[in-house]
Amino acid sequence: MAYGTFASPDLTTFCDLDDLGLVATGQLLEPDRAVLECRVANPDPWCRRCGSQGLSRGTITRTLAHTPYGHRPTTLLLRVRRYHCRSCGTSWRDDTTRAAPARGKLTHGGMRWALTAVVVDHLSISRVAAGLGVAWNTANQAVLEEGYRLLISDPARFEGVRVIGVDEHVWRHTGRGERYVTVIIDLTPIREGSGPSRLLDMVPGRSKQVLKTWLADRPQQWRDGIEVVAMDGFTGYKTATSEELPQAIAVMDPFHVIRLAGDAVETCRRRIQQQLTGRRGRKTDPLYAARRLLLTGTGLLTPTQRVRLDELLAKDEHAEVEATWVCYQNLVAAYRESSRELGRFAMERVITPLRESVPAQLPELRKLGRTLNQRIQDILAYFDLPGTSNGPTEAINGRLEHLRGSA
């Protein structure tokens, strides 16, 4: 491996202290931490009021947690010089805001490390606190403040957004407080192939009014630039989008369409199970044992699984399950068509007959048909707008769930 030109060892550069406006003047290695003595790189002895040169009145020390190096926390012992002006009587200190926020206990580098550790490295707040050598509340507050500064307070995060995805997410798993949040995602990079999706915002609540209020708070120019909105089957999001973004095309993404069909298969399977046995399924019951097999695409089945499925659906008492399963598989096959024109045609052929020709003996299929026909234009719009899917939104929802648990 080829290396560049080596320079003399420099503790200031190695520990990124120059980015904080500091210079390392000493080090102390203890069993549980490393302590670096520092001073401000550019002292300011000039009076803020009259401009005269002040007299040094000694130093005070400020202890800051910094980015850990190795397996020990790194602490900065910052010596801040004090000054006094004999002309006007003003007193001041060297400015350390470049190194850390006022009254903060972590350097800006330490705060960035804490945020990266939680978001990228999936560390818990307890582990972050141990790495920094601070209390849990201190580490948690640092992550929140840095997250707000870099993400929420970034004025450029709404620039260039033309495609958004909207979905709900279960934030609380207890009965206290609002359980759901509405997640808004920027899908523009996905559609353009320029990068991954981005989290735009999370709003407490799951209703038409929540999304409508969030959209109304955005500038009119930004709203006029939204071309496509990907969403699930929730009519509240659909109505809010129609009212606030009338020019945008609503797309019901494949993930939620297939999930609706899969729920119909599961509901039908449970109903037939109850009718045949008078109880919930057990592992020895054919329908219960095949619950995952019924939701697997036919193209992914092994020969043994095909035989099991054929034997299950060949029984007369399972005819209603078979009818619902066939509809589910046809929807999956339409999305898997290599040609979008053929996929659109196949999807329309599956949905349109469900409007009136479903017998009363298939309540799950009738309900599915009503839902799909109400949103048929949104479902078919997916084939006209390549790269528009709420799948990345679901992926970010999973990441949010992991981060929530870690935090």
What would the pLDDT profile of 91-105 be if each residue is shown by its tens digit?
A: 888 989 999 998 899
Strand-pair category, 34-40 with 72-84 = parallel
* Whole-number pLDDT of residue 407: 60
* Whole-number pLDDT of residue 1: 65
Stretches in the chain below the pLDDT threshold 70: 1, 175, 387, 406-407
Instruction: Count CA atoms within 13 Å of residue 194 on its CB side.
Output: 8
Quick: pLDDT tens for 192-207.
777 888 888 888 888 9
**Taking the mean position of all CA atoms in its chain, how far away is CA 260?**
23
- Amino acid identity for residue 55 in this structure: L
Q: How far apart are the first and last CA of the chain?
A: 40
* Whole-number pLDDT of residue 406: 66
* Whole-number pLDDT of residue 247: 93
- Model pTM score: 0.72
* Whole-number pLDDT of residue 256: 86
Residue positions counted in the chain: 407
* Whole-number pLDDT of residue 356: 81
Quick: pLDDT tens for 111-160.
999 999 988 888 888 999 999 999 999 999 999 899 888 877 777 888 88
CB of 22 closer than 8 Å to CB of 99: yes
Structural domain spans, the chain? 11-151, 163-253+392-405, 255-384
Buried b (16+ CB within 10 A) or exposed e, 316-349: eebebbbbbbebbbebbbbbeeeeeeebbebbee
* Whole-number pLDDT of residue 232: 84
